[in-house]
A and B are shown apart, each in its own frame.
Chain A
């Protein structure tokens, strides 16, 4: 970025300008992030709708399936599905935040960002962090329902869950920003929701155990990156519960690949790599000039 020094009064060292650049990029990230939060707080209907849907799933699926699945040593399907519903809430909100780029394009604000003398990287990172923060907040609100269905919360568990939510949210938001950058029209939004978001959610093990699936379904769930984001969340929630061995066997956690159960760290690494890769893709795809 040596060309930017031309406008600086004579005598200004290049280094100072570079430092100023970094400060400016950080401020940009902060501003884009802040905008996401302001918009989130301001659109009450959105908060409500992304709150109602998971609750609906939790109670309809939870209670509906509980009668079918029954309890194993006091552990029922509601408790099993709870971490999945929290993930669902995070993923839906993250995707929705990212996809709002399509709105920004439609309503012109994207242009205001793209013509600014800032890097696309700062804009994408700000947008991703903003969407991820909003999604994490939304997912964490869901934790308030835990006592209602008998899931025991500890301070450590909450910290672990929020951390995993944030990772999941960053991954999904950067993926969403990448997808949104390639969508030119509003209609594309519905397509993404139908063809990407819902299959990813339903085939991630959020709503059913991954053990004993038919081979084709097992393969799909293992390809789905979301699987590796949902499982650690369930793992830490279950670890904090009093689970009889029979229940632990029935509602198992862990993703097996070729008969080998991935350690928690490996799952988190998969999600982390996914996040970084798609953040890179998103920056590359975001608002190419004519």
Chain B
């Protein structure tokens, strides 16, 4: 469906510089592909992320999100196309790329027999944080994720949410230009997820880091400045959350009236598109909220209930991919829980 493929809309250009030649781009990807045998996990993907942007890859499992992140982090070799992270080519300068990125994986990668501080110290050495700065950086990143109190505690005593926040802190320790978060909130409860998002947005604000994340939670994609919807290895839409919703269509206003037939006739003659729902009238309107008063006036019959529905990202996803995103929490949280039990070595 080529008409649906909008990679660069006017909104996107206003939201941030996205031109491929832009020197400030934190991530530049052109025609990137990755095939495993005959299977194309990622197919001809192009986009660019501006410095300081929060950029989300939204898509179901198996859509190619993790494969893309792996290529950007030099953990998988592209089979086609090019990618640059912070100006470094992922294929030709992998070490330079790794030094300028922070990584938080889906799976936990902490040593739970070390303390929070020891995990950070290990990371600081591996990522060449200058010796004189290590203490300050550790203090700072722990404060950013509110774990200063637990500094000397073994990671094995941490909850899943705390461990994840520590990993984010660790990812930020060497002041990376881009922080990659692969499904950062998977297996976390809603409260912890919200807390984690506060951390992430604070990082962006205070450290100016570019954040590239993948998620299959719609509500999380809302936090992003721009969203790329990826399905079957290709980007099917890329824009700001607002613009994407706008593209899906107008708001709908549901009216419960005493006389639907009369109200519908009057609204239609005033130029509104109207559909009869179950015991309601559904009116399509641009900016539904602002139109409510006028709709009631035009209907001219007593209205007992009004409900304005704005398109959600779920609608956006449905619109672009033709299906609902799979909500497979159980599939993911189960192995995490199982792991929690077997973590003690």
Specify the chain A residue showing the minimal Cβ separation from B96: A7
Q: Count residues of A near B (Cβ-Cβ below 8 Å).
A: 30
A112 beta carbon closer than 8 Å to chain B: yes
Specify the chain A residue showing the minimal Cβ separation from B115: A38
Between A and B, 9 residue pairs with Cβ closer than 8 Å are: A3-B92, A4-B95, A6-B88, A20-B128, A24-B128, A28-B126, A31-B126, A111-B107, A112-B122
Q: A31-B126, A35-B114 are in contact. Are A290 and B96 (CB under 8 A)?
A: no
Q: Which residues of A contact B73 (CB under 8 A)?
A: 115
Q: Which residues of B contact A118 (CB under 8 A)?
A: 126
CA distance A118 to B122 in the complex (A): 12
Q: Which of B100, B105, B122, B125 contacts A108 (CB 8 A)?
A: B105
Contact with A along B120-155 (1 / 0, CB 8 A): 011101111000000000000000000000000000
B301 beta carbon closer than 8 Å to chain A: no
CA distance A103 to B111 in the complex (A): 10
Whether B77 and A289, one on each chain, are in contact in the complex, defined by CB atoms closer than 8 angstroms, is: yes
Known: A28-B126, A112-B109, A117-B98. 4 other contacts (CB 8 A): A1-B95, A7-B96, A35-B122, A117-B95
B70 beta carbon closer than 8 Å to chain A: yes
Contact with B along A1-29 (1 / 0, CB 8 A): 10110110000000000001000100110
- Chain A 73-112 residues near chain B, CB threshold 8 A: 103-104, 107-109, 111-112
Q: Which residues of A contact B93 (CB under 8 A)?
A: 3-4, 6-7
Q: Interface on A for B, CB 8 Å cutoff?
A: 1, 3-4, 6-7, 20, 24, 27-28, 30-31, 35, 38-39, 42-43, 103-104, 107-109, 111-113, 115-118, 289-290
CA distance A42 to B344 in the complex (A): 13
B118 beta carbon closer than 8 Å to chain A: yes
Q: What secondary structure prevails in chain B residues at the interface with A?
A: loop
Whether B128 and A117, one on each chain, are in contact in the complex, defined by CB atoms closer than 8 angstroms, is: yes
Sort A-B residue pairs by CB-CB distance and give the 7 closest, nearest first: A116-B126, A108-B109, A117-B98, A31-B125, A112-B109, A117-B99, A290-B76
Whether B110 and A3, one on each chain, are in contact in the complex, defined by CB atoms closer than 8 angstroms, is: no
Residue in B100, B103, B123, B125 whose Cβ sees the most chain A Cβ within 10 Å = B125
Q: Which residues of B contact A42 (CB under 8 A)?
A: 113
Q: Which residues of B contact A28 (CB under 8 A)?
A: 125-126
CA distance A112 to B95 in the complex (A): 14
Specify the chain A residue showing the minimal Cβ separation from B345: A103
Whether B345 and A117, one on each chain, are in contact in the complex, defined by CB atoms closer than 8 angstroms, is: no
B343 beta carbon closer than 8 Å to chain A: yes
Specify the chain A residue showing the minimal Cβ separation from B34: A290
Q: Which residues of A contact B76 (CB under 8 A)?
A: 289-290
CA distance A112 to B100 in the complex (A): 15
Q: Which of A20, A35, A289 contacts B111 (CB 8 A)?
A: A35
Q: Which residues of A contact B121 (CB under 8 A)?
A: 31
Whether B125 and A6, one on each chain, are in contact in the complex, defined by CB atoms closer than 8 angstroms, is: no
Q: Which residues of A contact B103 (CB under 8 A)?
A: 115
In angstroms, how far is the closest chain A Cβ from the Cβ of B336? 12
Whether B75 and A289, one on each chain, are in contact in the complex, defined by CB atoms closer than 8 angstroms, is: yes
B268 beta carbon closer than 8 Å to chain A: no
B108 beta carbon closer than 8 Å to chain A: yes
CA distance A118 to B112 in the complex (A): 22
Whether B77 and A290, one on each chain, are in contact in the complex, defined by CB atoms closer than 8 angstroms, is: yes
Q: Which residues of B contact A107 (CB under 8 A)?
A: 108, 111-112, 343, 345
Q: Which residues of B contact A24 (CB under 8 A)?
A: 128
CA distance A156 to B70 in the complex (A): 54
Q: Which residues of B contact A31 (CB under 8 A)?
A: 121-122, 125-126
Whether B127 and A116, one on each chain, are in contact in the complex, defined by CB atoms closer than 8 angstroms, is: yes
Q: Which residues of B contact A117 (CB under 8 A)?
A: 95-96, 98-99, 126-128
CA distance A43 to B345 in the complex (A): 9
Q: Which residues of B contact A104 (CB under 8 A)?
A: 111
Q: Which residues of B contact A113 (CB under 8 A)?
A: 126
In angstroms, how far is the closest chain B Cβ from the Cβ of A80? 36
Q: Which of A20, A103, A112, A290 contacts B123 (CB 8 A)?
A: A112
Q: Which residues of A contact B128 (CB under 8 A)?
A: 20, 24, 117
Q: Which residues of A contact B108 (CB under 8 A)?
A: 107-108
CA distance A117 to B96 in the complex (A): 7
In angstroms, how far is the closest chain A Cβ from the Cβ of B91? 10
Q: Which residues of B contact A115 (CB under 8 A)?
A: 73-75, 98, 103
Q: A3-B96, A290-B75 are in contact. Are A109 and B125 (CB under 8 A)?
A: no
Residue in A28, A109, A113, A289 whose Cβ sees the most chain B Cβ within 10 Å = A109
Q: Which residues of A contact B70 (CB under 8 A)?
A: 290
CA distance A169 to B76 in the complex (A): 35
CA distance A118 to B98 in the complex (A): 9
Q: Which of B75, B100, B110, B127 contacts A7 (CB 8 A)?
A: B100
Contact with A along B62-84 (1 / 0, CB 8 A): 00000000100111110000000
Q: Which residues of A contact B74 (CB under 8 A)?
A: 115, 289
CA distance A107 to B99 in the complex (A): 23
CA distance A42 to B345 in the complex (A): 11
Q: Which residues of B contact A43 (CB under 8 A)?
A: 113, 345
CA distance A7 to B345 in the complex (A): 40
- Chain B 272-293 residues near chain A, CB threshold 8 A: none
Whether A7 and B99, one on each chain, are in contact in the complex, defined by CB atoms closer than 8 angstroms, is: yes
CA distance A192 to B333 in the complex (A): 32
Whether B110 and A112, one on each chain, are in contact in the complex, defined by CB atoms closer than 8 angstroms, is: yes
